Amino acid sequence: MDINKKVAGILGGMGPQATINLYKAIIDKSIKEYNVRDNSEFPEMLIRNHSPKTVLDNNSLCVLRDDILDQVEKLLSNDVDFFVIPCNTIHIFTDDIRQRFDTPFVSILESVVEEIKTTDIRDIAIVGSKTTIQNKLYENPLRENGYDNLYIPDEDKQNKLVDIIESIISKGANIEDANKLDIILDSLAAKGAKSVVLGCTELPLVKNMLRTKLKIFDSVDVLANAVCKNIFN
């Protein structure tokens, strides 16, 4: 296989297991979708693992912003052609990142919205951190693209989502958190949702344990697709 050896940068650690999940998804897609067979054909990636104290709420966003920009600068001190951040919440700083750095930043949010646009789905639930939901990181671009039937968890369910995310970070994938997430998804489906964006990169870790019938837009899987497209195409 003759491939363009672009190098992908990954600012991970938010959380670490989500970063591992992205890396594995990229490798799996390289084999299954891009016919990689020889070890030399796999994507070249540089991963900087950085785990700030919290990225789940709006507290201390200015401090977190400066920290993330510093970490991006350290990542880009290496020779990468583009970079991604497998954390939806951190995309609240997308404009700051793009204003400061010229290296292409492939957005997980934009990638998910583009994926949704390839389907005929119109009724979409959004689950993620409180920062992601309250700052409408998915809601705004979806509405701008004509998606008006959006189903957003109320304050109580947002708090429960934070508990689920924190539990997955500390314990890894487990059936208890999958069941708790299913209860939230059931409530959104009862209101009319036909699909759901897993808008926190921890939530896909329990995806295979969910019993929901909603079509799932897995933000980690979508980002892995975007990385592979940038590398192989």
Structure confidence by residue, pLDDT tens digits, 45-60:
999 999 887 665 566 6
What is the assigned CATH class of domain 7-107+222-232? alpha beta
The pLDDT of 30-36, averaged and rounded, is 96
Query: At what angle are helices 16-32 and 219-232 packed, to 10 degrees?
Result: 50
Share of the chain above pLDDT 70, in %: 95
Q: How far is Cα 107 from Cα 87, in angstroms, rounded to an integer?
A: 10
Strands in 7-12's sheet, in edge-to-edge order, are 44-49, 7-12, 82-84
Quick count: other Cβ atoms within 10 Å of Cβ 179? 14
What are the pLDDT digits (tens) for 157-179?
999 999 999 999 999 999 999 99
Q: Delimit the CATH 3.40.50.1860 region(s) of the chain.
A: 7-107+222-232, 109-218
The CATH fold of domain 109-218: Rossmann fold (3.40.50)
Q: What is the tens place of the pLDDT at every residue in 78-106?
A: 999 999 999 999 999 999 999 999 999 99
Contact present, 65 and 93 (Cβ < 8 Å): yes
Q: What is the pTM of this model?
A: 0.95
Question: Which residues does residue 49 pair with via DSSP β-bridges, in sequence order?
Answer: 12
Vertex 218, ends 130 and 83: CA angle to 5°?
A: 85
